[in-house]
Amino acid sequence: MSVDVVSPKRLAKGHAPTLPADAPAAGELDVSRPLGVYVHVPFCSVHCPYCDFAIDVRKPIPHRAYAEAVLRELAGRKGWFEGGQLVSLYFGGGTPSLWEPEQLGRVVQGVREVFQPATDGLAVSVPALEITVEANPGEMAPAVLQGLRAAGVNRLSLGVQSFDDDLLVALGRNHDGATARRALTEARAAGFDNVSVDLMYGLPGQTLAGWQTTLEELIALGPAHVSAYALTVEAGTPFGRRAKRDELVVPEDELVADMGSLAHRLFGAAGLERYEVSSFARAGRRAVHNSLYWSGGSYLGLGVGAASFRPLTDGTGWRFTNPRATESYLRAMEQAELPPLAECERRTLGDLENEAMWLSLRTSDGLSRRAHERRYGLDPLLGREEQVQLCVAAGWLTLEGDRWTLTELGWLFADEVAARLWRA
């Protein structure tokens, strides 16, 4: 069985030979699409054995120097996204809550001064500006939470992962279940009414009964949003090296699929709608920033390893990524207006049409055939007729008028559907 395990954080990452640093400036930005700004804060207290993101475990943290580097990068890249209407500012990592709130607040202010908040002129409906900070349980003193609120942060994303102490040890986390439970209470006490929680399943030693206990505990705590991801074992991580030596035993695919289905069922009964393969939300609490990735919105990535996407009015777009090493990034920003690009690629209309097919079908809203054709100038059915019918016959895909959506079974086969519908 194919189990979909793609994380939204990975959707923005491109792979291509490096082009001249000024290449992404070419072409006119499509300002009809909402804009998000992502700030990567690489600093962490520990390096979890499953993580392959750009992180930096160090003391002391260069709080002010990193803020100044990010602000200099913002000043250098802002012209590439001029005219974009801001709907989201997201601080990811790493552990952004380790950054001094004063420095984070400087970046919030800098971004808000550069980009105008969204208006009703966009092609999609958007709420007020969402400002999210990722945080870990046990690393949020009351003063930090108060500082984040004062900086304008209105959404927290807590890296809980599990309430099971044994699993948390296996994951290399530096908190226990009691600390994770307390984190939600402390966040609410500080005035955060929009709290998201990250959970992981398919973990070494995890059982379906244990996963159900975690789900029930979380539901009782009443989060506004949940991201529930199946473990992905990445080659360059400690988990990846253990797996290569056959020393990492994880649940079979069938059990992982059962865990995903159980989460869907229990969250749905508790009023948390599944609106994307791995994402569940109460009414009005869908993640604005992650939705940009799934809907083809534009986003400017600032900081170590951050990825950007610049859609153009001709239907093509630029995707580019910063270097992953903190010291290299800081040195570059001390010496130049912009850091060198680690990765850069021009995405063709065909590339983006394929991506739009895949990403829209990962969501409960699905794909609008008419809207897709308006944006890409091509009926999504053309050239895919046979594979679409095969997906329908398999019970993975439903076609109702203009709308294509995955079935409940199809959620488990989202990657398989994407592979079948990918236009060569």
Reported as a single tens digit per residue, the pLDDT across 364-393 is 999 999 999 999 999 999 999 999 999 999
Same domain, 113 and 259: yes
Average pLDDT over residues 275-291: 96
pLDDT score at 340 = 84
Three-class HEC string of 290-311: HHHHHHCCEEEEEECCCEEEEE
Which segments of 84-201 does DSSP mark as H helices, in order? 101-114, 142-150, 165-170, 177-189
- Residue type for position 87: V
Decide if 314 is inside a domain: no
**Domain end position, chosen among 264, 294, 324:** 294
For residue range 32-69, list pLDDT tens digits in order.
Answer: 999 999 999 999 999 988 988 888 898 899 999 999 99
Decide if 218 is inside a domain: yes
Average pLDDT over residues 229-242: 93
Decide if 421 is inside a domain: yes
Same domain, 246 and 380: no
Cα-flanking dihedrals φ and ψ of residue 177, to 5°?
-65, -40
Decide if 216 is inside a domain: yes
Q: What's the CA gap between 108 and 298, in Å, rounded?
A: 18
Q: Please give the model's pTM, rounded to 2 decimal places.
A: 0.92
pLDDT score at 19 = 53
For residue range 120-156, list pLDDT tens digits in order.
Answer: 545 444 457 999 999 999 898 999 999 999 999 999 9
**Domain end position, chosen among 249, 274, 294:** 294
| Helices vs. strands in the chain: H and E counts, helices first | 15, 18
> Mean pLDDT, the chain, as a whole number?
91
Residue in 354, 264, 218, 309 with CA at minimum distance from that of residue 4 = 264
pLDDT score at 394 = 97
CATH code where residue 287 lies: 3.80.30.20
Decide if 321 is inside a domain: no
Q: How many domains does the chain have?
A: 2
Same domain, 101 and 249: yes
Pick the residue with more confidence: 396 or 339? 396
Which structural domain range is residue 181 located in?
8-294
Q: What's the CA gap between 396 and 2, in Å, rounded?
A: 12
Same domain, 276 and 402: no
Decide if 119 is inside a domain: yes
**Domain end position, chosen among 294, 318, 334:** 294
pLDDT score at 336 = 77
Query: What is the share, in percent, of the chain residues with pLDDT greater than 90?
Result: 83
Decide if 205 is inside a domain: yes
Residue in 203, 179, 190, 181 with CA at minimum distance from that of residue 153 = 190
